Structure 1
Amino acid sequence: MKKIASIAWKDTLVRFSERSEFLFFLVLPLLFTVLLGGGLFSGGDREARISLLVVDEDNSELATELQSVLTDSEAVEIITATRTEAEAQFEDEKAPALLIIPAGFEDALMARKPVELDFRKASDDNDAAVAEQTILAAISTMSRALAVANSSVAERERLLPFTDQAQREVYFSQSLSMAQSLFEAAPERVRSTRPPTAPADGEDEFDQSTQASTGQLITWVFIPLIGTSVVFVSERTKGTLRRLLTTPTQTATFMLGTIVGQLALSIVQMALLIGFGIWVMGVNWGQSPTALAVMLLSFALASVALGTMLGTFTKTDSQANSVSIISGMAMALLGGCMFPAEMFPEVARTVVKVFPTTWAMQGLTDIVMRGKGLVEILPAAGVLVGFAAIFFTVGVWRFRYE
């Protein structure tokens, strides 16, 4: 046991002999967690509406109705301003989108003439694209009521002509108001339901901070653990492994020391990232501590086992380092650590099940985002333990001194 601890400590000192290692061990993981999570203190019930500058040059009832529909969408936050003020704020990038409702907007709609809204958006901005889709949806909602009102006016005109334009406008307004009321009272076409086992308070709903915290933990712990291959290759190519084994040190002792050292560092790193997620990002990591411990340990074992196996296939330090980084980033990306797995096609979601990162992300998401416990995550943990057994078996079988 003392030899195992000595080897583990030696590997730790070697790993942190350069200060740049702290950059990859803690600084970059925290930085990427914040960036992908949407900023500090971003967890919880934070409202995330997109700012939309609106200039109303028509000042009509229908222009006000359009703004009301946009506000009810819960996707954008209306900021009304004059054209000069709005254009200045848009140029200063204080809002990603600007909508100008031109004069004559209501008159054109009531006369069934085409009307053009002036919409401006920041280039390559996802929020601006969302604002644009929200505006299109609002226009579509208004168009349905307008179409009904216009049809009603036309039918009344056919049956009983209006005496003057004022009577026609009153009838149109009444028809439009009735159509809007009927559409608002219409039953839902699609209703969102929740399974009986889902948390009643909605804690299992997608949260960007949770996705970032879990995904970046897996990514930045996974890459150094499969980088265990570099340790084995370095010892082998420099001849220190053969010299070490001339002492009363068995091969199993050396391998255990290296593996235990990497596992211990990963546990420290995961604890720091989880603490940051809880106290800074507001992520609920503590729903099931037992399930979390089992999942993290299974993931760490599978990762270090993969590194042990890769160390028997690579021949040089640079080769082992490149393979570790490239394969680690690829598996993290495809495993859903950067983006939710639901964004990938069904075929891709099936293929990526051959990666440990996929099962680790699934298990941690079930715990942190869906509130599941030990029993529910055992299948994912079992798959990771299976990966570890296979990788360790191949690694030990192919282990060479030189």
Structure 2
Amino acid sequence: MFTVFVNEIRMLLRDRWGFVFMMLAPIVVATLITGARYGTTENPKVLIPVVDEDHGSAAALIVELLGAHADPQIMSRERAEALVAVENRAPAALVLPAGFSDRREAGWSSQVELLTDPANARGVATVRTLLLLVEKDAAALEDPFAQEMVEMREINLTGDRLERKSYEQNLPGFGLMFILIAVVVTTATGFHAERTQGTMERLLVAPAGFSRIILAKLGVRWLLGMVQLFALLAWGHLVFGISLGPSTLTLFLVCLLVAMPSAGLGLVVAGVAGSRESALPLALFSVITFGAIGGLWWPLYIEPPWMQSIAPAFFTTWAMWAMTDIVLRDRSLFEMQATLLGLLAQGTFLITLGLVLFRSRHSRR
């Protein structure tokens, strides 16, 4: 029994870098999550584009009161709609119509518009709450605005519904985490199984070429991830009525290009890890890190600024954008072309890097 114990320790220490990484991975992940969720003493203020078509005293008061709770920025309607519907940097924009201040002074009710992106349900709810706080602040100042004389009309800029169900909100993040775990872990450990089974040496001298064989094997994992994601979305559509976007082609490309960098990341992990034992914790660490930074666990806007700045460098951010666009925003292929091209570029980079690392490591054996 003692001999077996010692032998297992020796096998574990054989891959020194893998052992060091297994010790450091939990510390790095815990630090990353703590920094993302609790790294700042103050919550970041929500950006609220304000379209001031009134230019009166009542409109100025609203903007001033909003500034105590959020980050209101006055701009044109076109720019406000772009921030909400195209760039998705703001959950909603407030439009103060012409004549708003005059109607306030006359004691008449007025209507304001809230241009929303229901895909960001949490952000829209935050904006609604902030507007209620503005009413209370105005009441404290004994302003007529506090007398419930303002009506709010919501306009959805990214779809045909003002509200999204909670399961629709959760599907993109949960679905991507499942695909990451399934594809990255099986790819990383599966390639190392080739060496354990003694087939890696034969692949190195195969007439078809080492790279082609590795790419063919990687293609199976890529296809598996694509089918799993498609099946998940199809099940959600049939059982829960979740939207699958305006066209089958768009859905197919999203599944294809989301699975591509996932398989590439698995190959990178296989190239970095020195053994199957170290490949598993490294794969899990990669999944957790990419998921946390990419917004699979929480909205990007609540992350600290430094994490938001590096998020586009992680393919999970682009994958989350693509999933949200097709499930919650019903965007067309033309509207999603930049996101899909970003996934294609990151997938190509990861597969190329993984192929170089994996070939370099096993060519030395």
Q: In structure 1, which of residues 172, 178, 183 is the aligned counterpart of residue 147 of structure 2? A: 183
In structure 2, give the amino acid aligned to 1:287: P
Deviation at 1:343, TM superposition (A): 2.8
Matches within 5 A, 1:94-133: none
Matched, 1:297 2:261: no
Q: Judging changes above 3 Å, is the alpha-carbon distance between structure 1 residues 180 and 389 closer, same or farther for their aligned structure 2 residues?
A: closer
Residue 19 of structure 2 corresponds to which residue in structure 1? none
Verify the 8 A CA contact 2:245 2:330 in the aligned structure 1. Answer: no
Residue in structure 2 matching 1:307, options 259, 266, 272: 266
- For residues 233 and 224 of structure 1, the distance between their equivalents in structure 2, rounded to whole angstroms, comes to 16
The partner residue of 1:359 within 299, 308, 318 is 318
Question: Where does residue 79 of structure 2 map in the other structure?
Answer: none
Larger Rg: 1
CA shift in 2, pair 1:192/1:230, >3 Å: same
Mapped partners of 2:240, 2:308: distance in 1: 28
Q: Is the 8 A contact 2:226 2:258 kept in 1?
A: no
TM superposition shift of 1:191? 6.8
**CA apart distance, 1:261:** 1.5
Runs (5+) with no aligned partner, structure 2? 1-124
CA distance in 2, matches of 1:286, 1:352: 25
Quote the offset at 1:244 in angstroms: 4.3
Look up the match of 1:229: 188
Distance 1:242 1:263, change over 3 A: same
**3-state SS of the aligned residue for 2:295?**
coil
Matches within 5 A, 1:232-381: 232-246=191-205, 248-381=207-340
Paired residue type of 1:221? I
- 3-state DSSP class of the match of 1:374? coil
- The CA deviation at 1:342 is 3.0
Distance in 2, matches of 1:397 and 1:346, equals 33
After superposition, give the CA deviation of every residue in 1:154-210 in whole Å (9 maximum; x if it has no partner): xxxxxxxxxxxxxxxxxxxxxxxxx9998133x35x875554xx33x326x554212
Q: Which runs of 4+ in 1 moved over 4 A?
A: 179-182, 190-195, 244-249
TM-score when normalising by structure 2: 0.55
The 1:248–1:180 alpha-carbon spacing in structure 2 relative to 1, beyond 3 Å, is closer
Once the 2 structures are TM-superposed, how far is the Cα of residue 235 of structure 1 from its aligned partner? 1.6
Deviations 1:131-176 (A, max 9, x none): xxx9xx79x96x959x98xxxxxxxxxxxxxxxxxxxxxxxxxxxx
Q: Judging changes above 3 Å, is the alpha-carbon distance between structure 1 residues 389 and 180 closer, same or farther for their aligned structure 2 residues?
A: closer
What amino acid maps onto 1:184 in structure 2?
E
- C-alpha change, 1:249 and 1:368, in structure 2 (3 Å) is same
Deviation of 1:262 after TM superposition, in Å, equals 0.8
The answer to whether the Cα contact below 8 Å between 1:215 and 1:336 also exists between their aligned partners in 2 is yes
Pairwise CA distance, 1:350 = 2.2
* CA drift at 1:285: 1.8
Give the letter aligned to residue 264 of structure 2.
Answer: A
Matches within 5 A, 1:117-196: 183-185=147-149, 187=150, 194-195=156-157
Amino acid at match of 2:181: I
The aligned counterpart of 2:173 is 215
1:358–1:207: structure 2 CA closer, same or farther, 3 Å change rule? farther
1:397 aligned onto 2:361: no
Question: 1:372 Cα deviation (Å)?
Answer: 1.0
Q: Among the aligned pairs, what percent are the same residue?
A: 26
User: By how many angstroms is 1:238 displaced?
Assistant: 4.5
- Please say if residues 366 and 377 of structure 1, whose CA atoms lie closer than 8 Å, have aligned partners that are also in contact: yes
- Contact 1:295–1:377 (CA under 8 A) maintained in structure 2: no
Q: Is the 8 A contact 1:291 1:374 kept in 2?
A: yes
Q: 1:279 Cα shift?
A: 2.1
Amino acid at match of 2:247: S
Q: Distance in 2 between matches of 1:182 and 1:333?
A: 41
Structure 1 partner of 2:77: none
Counterparts of 1:269 and 1:369 in 2: how far apart (Å)?
A: 20
Q: Aligned in 2, Cα 1:184/1:388: closer, same or farther, shift over 3 Å?
A: closer
The residue that corresponds to 1:387 in the other structure is: 346
Residues in 2 aligned to 1:194 and 1:246: alpha-carbon distance in whole angstroms: 59
Deviation for aligned residue 1:353: 1.3
CA shift digits 1:15-54 (9 cap, x unpaired): xxxxxxxxxxxxxxxxxxxxxxxxxxxxxxxxxxxxxxxx
| 1:330-368 deviation per Cα after TM superposition (whole angstroms, max 9, x unaligned) | 211221222222332444222211111100001111122
Aligned residue in 2 for 1:162: none
Name the Cα RMSD after superposition.
3.4
